[in-house]
Amino acid sequence: MAGLTFKHVYKVYPNGTKAVNDFNMTIEDKEFIVFVGPSGCGKSTTLRMVAGLEDISAGELTIGDLVVNDVEPKDRDIAMVFQNYALYPHMTVYDNIAFGLRLRKVPRDEKHRNGKMTRDEIHAKVTEAAEILGITEYLGKKPKEMSGGQRQRVSLGRAIVREPKVMLLDEPLSNLDAKLRTQMRAEISKLHKKLDTTFIYVTHDQVEAMTMGTRIVVMKNGYVQQIDTPKNLYNYPGNKFVAGFIGTPQMNFFTGVLKKQGENVIIRIDGSAAGITVPYSRMYKVKPSYLDGKTKVCIGLRAEDISIAGAAPSDGEARIKVKVSHKEELGNQTLIYGDINMDGDGYTENGTRVIIQADETEIGSGDVIDAVLNIDKIHLFDIDTEVSILPRLPEYNYFDCTVRAGKVILDGIKFDLPPAIGCGDGEYELLIPTDAVRVGGNIVAEVVETESVNGKCLASLVAGKTRLFAVTDDVIPCGKTGVSFDLKRIALVKDGNTVVAAMPEKISMDGFMSKKKIKAEITDESTGKTKTVNRIEFYLNICGAEFAAPDDISAKLISAMGVKKAFGGKLRFECTPYDLTFAESGIPATVKDIADYGAEKFAVCDIAGSEAYVYCDGGVSGNVYLQPDLAALSVIQADLDIRII
């Protein structure tokens, strides 16, 4: 039994295909994790890296406490079940299951003189596995005498007897018919509970993923899209791809605009005459620039969140006209297909087509009906990036504010801008990151509600008449509190132009790794003789300065890039403003200014033509040298954009 961690794991195939990009995840012991996504998204490659069947190009994979990048598959304590069963056709079911155990080495002792399991031990394990899987009566048969489902049970049996720390299953049910698939799904879930071990399961079938996984990893084009529980993926998809991939029938997507009018927001959907009014309180998390009535957004609603309207409209009901094109009777429910555009055909997925989930209904083709949208269940996405603009964890608080004499004035909140933020008097839009709101400080606020979201605490606060969100690692209790803002992270915007930007928190420097042959003298202690040997030393060249490369960094770079490319290949070194210190030697830089944020000061430096903010106590100026904290550096292979460290 073991958990796994993926740290910046990449897979680049020799032909240059980047199959997996920057995969990061912690899998807890005993979880049932499903990797799901369309064909070619990189899910099998990820699983095969866990199994050790594919090398890891960059990053670190840990099973239990052990980094397994260079551990042989047989030593990883995993078992894998494949789609095609991979059984030996000439062996009986019994022998197929027992095969691995007969080869397995065990510590030699009285009972195991040849370092192998005894016949009785193997027999006990095989019969127990057969019993768990209900294939006892087939133990004497050959695989060809069995059905697909039975064969897959045998390959599960073969995996179970190994008592692996992690069970890996690669589309194990794809070869089975629909009914058997459903049955085997339940059996595998049951098996997971019984074995109480970590399962990682790969499938392209979202229903399989939703019914089996404790958490699901949705992938697309080699990138993780979202990692969450089935319920959260369904209710809170982080982008349009996940929203469309999870759930049947597919979520309805419309194009439209949102306009803030007083305390309401009016939603207008392209192709429909209807204007839908929702209270602004439902849209607090949406960036105001989306609420200008002009910026196109993608509006998502699931079929079950649209219903056929009753005769009399009720208060606040969001009604929309739909021209029905056709129906799909599913027995217990009916899917009504139509178009909100009276000229639409109801068949093409064009931003106006709509699917409504209804009970038995008399409604027929050509009818024009009133449908009601359940606005509480609305999903909104950016039209280009497709990222949710109504996320569970909002990134920013957006306010209209006034700046007067270096003071920011909000409804009921006032605070001084630090010297680093020069900003003329006037009206601005103020952006405060939700994780830049800190508990403790002299702004009086009240925490009115908290919610736990993916391990973070989302707190809703009221300060004066201003509502704001804070996202923190620790739970904030409800009630009165003082708050403050990390002012180096705020931004002020006027007429769409950023007047004050957040302080850049990432420093990026170009460089490469080099090696030098050093002649060293070694003295043999027993003979007292001295001889000269060649030693190779590795160096990191960062913006023209040379640093001895720590062993773990040079080893990782060589392992990820290969010996040829590791030396001289373009690297990018990244760190934070806190990871560089002023020194007598090192990376040459010029201090252009000191940015004083009150509690902290930063030197605004020119490093090889790029601007970087470096933490300081204020007493620096002119030409300086910087020493990086090598242990804190991220190292990126620049041409492939792969984070190696």
Q: Which is nearer to ligand ADP, 173 or 410 (CB)?
A: 173
- What values do phi and psi take at 372, rounded to 5? -110, 130
Query: Cα separation of 260 and 250, whole Å?
Result: 29
Residue from 39, 314, 332, 497 that binds ligand ADP (CB under 6 A)? Answer: 39
Sheet holding 66-67, edge to edge: 18-27, 4-12, 58-63, 66-67
59 binds ligand ADP (CB under 6 A): no
Least distance CB 208 / ligand ADP (angstroms) = 14
Does 13 help bind ligand ADP (rule: CB under 6 A)? yes
* Whether residue 249 has a cis bond before it, omega within 30° of 0: yes
91-123 CB burial, b ≥16 within 10 A, e <16: ebbbebbbbebeeeeeeeeeeeeeebbeeeebe
Burial of 535 (0-12, 13-18, 19+ CB in 10 A): exposed
Six token digits for residue 376: 């509480």
| Shortest Å, Cβ 615 to ligand ADP | 41
- Cβ(321)–Cβ(370) under 8 Å? yes
Distance CA(225)–CA(471), nearest Å, equals 21
CB of 44 to ligand ADP, least distance (A): 3
Return the C-alpha torsion angle 439, 444, 448, 452, nearest 10.
-10
> Measured from the CB of residue 174, what is the shortest distance to ligand ADP in angstroms?
11
Nearest-angstrom CA–CA distance, 108 and 386: 59
* 41 counts as binding ligand ADP under rule CB under 6 A: yes
- Residue from 7, 8, 29, 40 binding ligand ADP (CB under 6 A): 40
- Selected range binding ligand ADP among 38-46, 209-217, 226-234, 396-404, rule: CB under 6 A: 38-46
Helix (H) or strand (E) holding 130: helix 119-133
For ligand ADP, the binding residue among 12, 43, 458, 642 (CB under 6 A) is 43
Which 121-150 positions form the footprint of ligand ADP (CB under 6 A)?
none
What's the closest the beta carbon of residue 212 comes to ligand ADP, in angstroms? 17
Stretch of 33-41, 482-490, 522-530, 626-634 lying at the interface with ligand ADP (CB under 6 A)? 33-41
Nearest residue (CB) to ligand ADP, 203 versus 397: 203
Taking residue 425's Cβ as centre, other Cβ atoms within 10 Å add up to: 11
Which range binds ligand ADP by CB under 6 A, 40-48, 96-104, 466-474, 617-625? 40-48
Complex with ligand ADP: residue 42 or 237, whichever CB lies closer: 42
Q: Figure out which of the listed residues 4, 19, 571, 607 binds ligand ADP, where binding follows CB under 6 A.
A: 19
User: In this chain, which of 37, 256, 394, 577 binds ligand ADP, going by CB under 6 A?
Assistant: 37
- Looking at the Cβ atoms of 21 and 155, the one nearer to ligand ADP is 21
E strand segments, 119-179: 166-170
Residue nearest to ligand ADP according to CB distances in the complex: 44
- CB of 13 or CB of 88, closer to ligand ADP: 13
Tell the smallest beta-carbon distance from residue 63 to ligand ADP (Å).
19
CB of 37 to ligand ADP, least distance (A): 6
Q: Cβ of 518: how many Cβ atoms within 10 Å?
A: 10
Please give the Cα distance from 177 to 186 (Å, whole number). Answer: 15
CB-CB contact of 469 with 458 (8 Å): yes
Question: Residues in contact with ligand ADP, total (CB under 6 A)?
Answer: 12
According to DSSP, the residues that pair with 269 across neighbouring strands are 256
Question: 34: which 2 tokens?
Answer: 């499903």
Instruction: Point out which span in 34-42, 391-399, 439-447, 583-591 binds ligand ADP (CB under 6 A).
Output: 34-42
Residues forming the site for ligand ADP (CB under 6 A): 13, 15, 17, 19, 37, 39-45
